[in-house]
Structure 1
Amino acid sequence: MKTTDPLAGIMAFLAVADRASFTAAAEDLEMGRSAVGAQIRALEARLGVQLLQRSTRAVRLTEAGAAYRAALADIQDRVRHAGQAATAFQTEAVGRLRIAAPPDLGPDHVAPVVARFLAENSAVSIDLQLSTDAVDLIGDSFDLAIRGALAVEPRLVTRQIGASPLFACASPSYLARRGAPATPQDLATHACLHFSELRWGCKWRFERDNEVADVPILPRLECNNGPTLLAAAIAGAGIALEPAFVVGPAIRAGTVVPILADWHLPVIPLHAVYPANRNIASKVRSFVTMLATAFADHPDLGAAPG
């Protein structure tokens, strides 16, 4: 088949020119001798000149062939260096790493890992974008996303890197003023602070033994940012439903108190998501591993998957 590829046949020509032998060149290229000859004939036809003089005893460069070989003097080194530059992305953490993560995770949990990764990988730069949207990794050129909720996306690889339980909690001042609910159904009479992008809507699920309570709520406050809802809860505005990675420090400090402690709430799984490819870049593999290790060691992110 006719080709317009300007590089077709060049490596075969260089091998024959350097070895002065079709047989030796074929061995070097791990090709058949006839295939080498066919590539060079196609190259000569495309250039419109004879590059090699062939006889039963020897192969020599023509004048045009010698000029062509001289002009290609550094191409083999450049091809080798180009290959090394490309394969470096598989063997070393290099280049720009573009990450999408939820705003609630970014400042306290992703940023410290980013800082450590940058300190340990001087050849990497990071573009970290915080958004509640499920970005199009391939269309928007992201290397990696961190997500809690997952849809089935066959072009993506997912790896669970952590899990965080939900807590319903309120400030001591709110509970002193309004009292603590004794059952999930009592939430109907309380001020509920609701994360507006909760994937199952305005309904809080509680479980105990074999009992499930799906409680519809009428939020007094809705917000798409967990730390903001926590701040409102600490100020006494009501009861918030928050993941441990947002509310854990406040619970340990006593500024909010979990309610309905004999009931269980869902555990939010956290995933690293990246485009499916046999050759995942080293920077992606290394960052995901560091993230998973950091999350596993964190009291608010290393829960057993729900």
Structure 2
Amino acid sequence: MKTLDPLAGVSAFLAVAETLSFSKAAERLDMSRPTVSAQVQDLEKRLGIRLLQRTTRVVSLTEAGEAYRLALADVMPQLREAERAATSFQKEAIGRIRVSAPPDLGADHVTQSIAAFLKLNPGISIELSLSPDAVNLVEERFDLAIRGTISLEPNVVTRKIGASPIVVCASPDYLADRDRPLHPEDLATHACLHFSKLRWGRVWHFSQAETERRVAIQPRFESNDGRSLLAAALHGAGIALLPMYVVGPSLRAGELVRLLDDWEIATIPIHAVYPANRHIAAKVRTFVRFLADRLSQHPDLLDTSPAAQAGRGAE
């Protein structure tokens, strides 16, 4: 059974009731006169009573029409306020944002950006959920996900907001009693700390000029959390392959040593991801712009690959 819209024709009726003219009502509503007339007729048919008296020269309200108009006087302002409240989320940076991010990226970089953003936007609140898995944005009702990944699923809108090179590193303690690897194949004799969600599996990829190497590893320790692998590397458990946004501070502090730095591994693009919908709320657009500007200034989230450097040189 088709459900009837109780508001169908109401705006057309009120415009005619206020102007006592179908032509003026049509002009006010930016409709054709026949459309306004048809909507009013459909409304009268649904209500089962005549609301307007029409002659070739005059339009007037019937007694029922006047009663209906007066009753709507309290309803229409509420409807306009409801429309204003809904559309404000499209026009103004207000409301709550639900964000998903991986723990190794979200715990530091995203959280710090959120704190700075909230100081500047008092009308916004944010809920951050940290998970190593890609959430279903629609089913789990997330406004936005931050993904540090090389591949993305279809049916989403993405904006690249940063990039982070993957590096190989180990602690000075680990290297103290061992030969430092000088070639990717040397990793076969070392304890490797492996990110279990790496899309290549237990194979580390290296390239140098025209040379490529694929090194199968047998991890001594693996985890789906980059921070856990970082902790293991800092405690001398082995050699880790991790993005700079995880290990950068430890490398600069001398707590870790970068290895095989004359070999390129890969660069992880950081994306803001939201459902494929052309009506992106202002709060989400504002936050993504802020996040992109902030992350682009971070030394561990700069794309240092040769291709990116060549692109910058051409600018």
State the alpha-carbon separation in 1 of the partners of residues 151 and 255 from structure 2.
35
Question: Residue 273 of structure 1 aligns with which residue?
Answer: 273
Question: Residue 112 of structure 1 aligns with which residue?
Answer: 112
Q: Quick one: which amino acid aligns to residue 118 of structure 1?
A: L
The alignment partner of 2:300 has SS state of coil
- Per the TM alignment, residue 175 of structure 1 is displaced from its structure 2 partner at its CA by 0.7
Mapped pair 1:282 → 2:282 = yes
- Per the TM alignment, residue 223 of structure 1 is displaced from its structure 2 partner at its CA by 1.3
Question: Residue 189 of structure 1 aligns with which residue?
Answer: 189
TM-score by length of 2: 0.92
State the alpha-carbon separation in 2 of the partners of residues 126 and 13 from structure 1.
43
State the alpha-carbon separation in 1 of the partners of residues 49 and 109 from structure 2.
65
The alignment partner of 2:67 has SS state of helix
State the alpha-carbon separation in 2 of the partners of residues 144 and 103 from structure 1.
15
State the alpha-carbon separation in 2 of the partners of residues 251 and 151 from structure 1.
27
- Per the TM alignment, residue 152 of structure 1 is displaced from its structure 2 partner at its CA by 5.3
Structure 1 residues 151 and 298, CA, compared in 2 at 3 Å: closer, same or farther?
A: closer
State the alpha-carbon separation in 2 of the partners of residues 288 and 147 from structure 1.
13
Question: Residue 163 of structure 1 aligns with which residue?
Answer: 163
Mapped pair 1:299 → 2:291 = no
State the alpha-carbon separation in 2 of the partners of residues 29 and 137 from structure 1.
37
Superposition map of 1:89-100 within 5 A: 89-100=89-100
- What is the alpha-carbon root mean square deviation over aligned residues? 1.6
TM-score by length of 1: 0.95
Q: Is the 8 A contact 2:157 2:276 kept in 1?
A: yes
Question: Residue 128 of structure 1 aligns with which residue?
Answer: 128
State the identity %.
Answer: 59
Structure 1 residues 214 and 150, CA, compared in 2 at 3 Å: closer, same or farther?
A: closer
Question: Residue 43 of structure 1 aligns with which residue?
Answer: 43
Q: Is the 8 A contact 2:150 2:269 kept in 1?
A: no
State the alpha-carbon separation in 2 of the partners of residues 73 and 299 from structure 1.
60
- Per the TM alignment, residue 145 of structure 1 is displaced from its structure 2 partner at its CA by 0.8
Question: Residue 263 of structure 1 aligns with which residue?
Answer: 263
State the alpha-carbon separation in 2 of the partners of residues 32 and 226 from structure 1.
62
The alignment partner of 1:178 has SS state of coil
- Per the TM alignment, residue 199 of structure 1 is displaced from its structure 2 partner at its CA by 1.2
Structure 1 residues 104 and 16, CA, compared in 2 at 3 Å: closer, same or farther?
A: same
Question: Residue 231 of structure 1 aligns with which residue?
Answer: 231
CA displacement, residues 23-48 of structure 1 (integer Å, 9 cap, x when unaligned): 21111112222222221122112111
CA displacement, residues 191-221 of structure 1 (integer Å, 9 cap, x when unaligned): 1111111111111111111111111111111
- Per the TM alignment, residue 256 of structure 1 is displaced from its structure 2 partner at its CA by 0.7
- Per the TM alignment, residue 270 of structure 1 is displaced from its structure 2 partner at its CA by 0.9
Mapped pair 1:27 → 2:38 = no
Structure 1 residues 304 and 276, CA, compared in 2 at 3 Å: closer, same or farther?
A: farther
State the alpha-carbon separation in 2 of the partners of residues 150 and 139 from structure 1.
23
- Larger CA deviation: 81-90 vs 286-295: 81-90
Q: Quick one: which amino acid aligns to residue 115 of structure 1?
A: A
The alignment partner of 1:74 has SS state of helix
How many corresponding residue pairs?
A: 305
State the alpha-carbon separation in 2 of the partners of residues 262 and 168 from structure 1.
11
State the alpha-carbon separation in 1 of the partners of residues 19 and 238 from structure 2.
83
- Larger CA deviation: 2-11 vs 48-57: 2-11
The alignment partner of 2:285 has SS state of helix
Mapped pair 1:83 → 2:77 = no
Which runs of 5 or more residues in structure 2 are unaligned? 308-315
State the alpha-carbon separation in 2 of the partners of residues 3 and 178 from structure 1.
76
Which runs of 5 or more residues in structure 1 are unaligned? none
Question: Residue 310 of structure 2 aligns with which residue?
Answer: none
Structure 1 residues 55 and 135, CA, compared in 2 at 3 Å: closer, same or farther?
A: same
State the alpha-carbon separation in 2 of the partners of residues 139 and 38 from structure 1.
40
Superposition map of 1:247-258 within 5 A: 247-258=247-258
- Per the TM alignment, residue 148 of structure 1 is displaced from its structure 2 partner at its CA by 2.3
State the alpha-carbon separation in 1 of the partners of residues 36 and 231 from structure 2.
73
